[in-house]
Amino acid sequence: MQVLTTIRGLGLPDWLIFSGSIYQSVWNAVTGRAPGYGVRDFDVGYFDPDTSWDAEDVVIRRVAGAFDPPVRERVEVRNQARVAIWFPEKFGEPYPPIARSEEALPRFVAPAFAVGVRLEADGAVTVFAPFGLEDVFNLTIRPNPHRPKARDWDRITARALERWPELTVLA
């Protein structure tokens, strides 16, 4: 909640917290582990049509300044409008541009990972889950059926199984 509240207060455009900090928190609740167990970082995506590195760097520094250590080092911020620029080279896959942060979620490597949340001004939590929440709550990792299997799939699933051996991995 600290990360959600702080990010909401910064007024970033079209922001979401997604990926590990969301699904791993659910896995911890389902398996009876401590709330922060295994959560390595907090991925914050926002959408700004200005795809310059300088504009993104200003936001990264602003967000970092809003947190004290050790949380500061665990918050990773990326402009989702910029992902199409660097993703193909880094991951060897095409990544057509998107128009909103939530459009990134259906491209994640697994349905369980494709969950984003936003804390609204009225205190409500908005959840974006294009594949639903069944895999997250059932501790299941399966490849995203709408994209090629990630080339580092075995590493991704092995790391998850090290921390949550109760997971079921489907190939």
Give me the pLDDT at residue 34, please.
97
| Mean of pLDDT values over 93-99 | 95
Q: Where are the domains positioned within the chain?
A: 2-169
Give me the pLDDT at residue 171, please.
84
What secondary structure letter does DSSP report for 100?
A: S
pTM of the model: 0.93
Give me the pLDDT at residue 16, please.
98
| Number of neighbouring beta carbons within 10 Å of residue 22 | 24
Hey, what are 86's tokens? 């660097």
**pLDDT exceeds cutoff 90 at 8:** yes
**pLDDT exceeds cutoff 90 at 167:** yes
Range scoring the smallest mean pLDDT among 15-19, 119-123, 148-152: 148-152
Give me the pLDDT at residue 59, please.
98
| Mean of pLDDT values over 33-43 | 95
**pLDDT exceeds cutoff 90 at 109:** yes
Give the Cα separation of 52 and 73 in Å (integer). 23
**pLDDT exceeds cutoff 90 at 108:** yes
| Mean of pLDDT values over 6-19 | 97
Phi-psi label, residue 92: left if phi above 0, alpha if psi -120 to 50, beta otherwise: left
| Mean of pLDDT values over 15-24 | 96
Q: What is the DSSP string of the chain?
A: -HHHHHHHHHT-TT-EEETHHHHHHHHHHHHT--TTTT---EEEEE--S---HHHHHHHHHHHHHTS-TTTGGGEEEEETTTHHHHHHHHHSS-----SSGGGGGGGSSSGGG--EEEE-TTS-EEEE-TT-SHHHHTTEE---TTSPPPTTHHHHHHHHHHH-TT-EE--
| Mean of pLDDT values over 16-34 | 97
What is the pLDDT of the chain when averaged over all its residues? Answer: 96
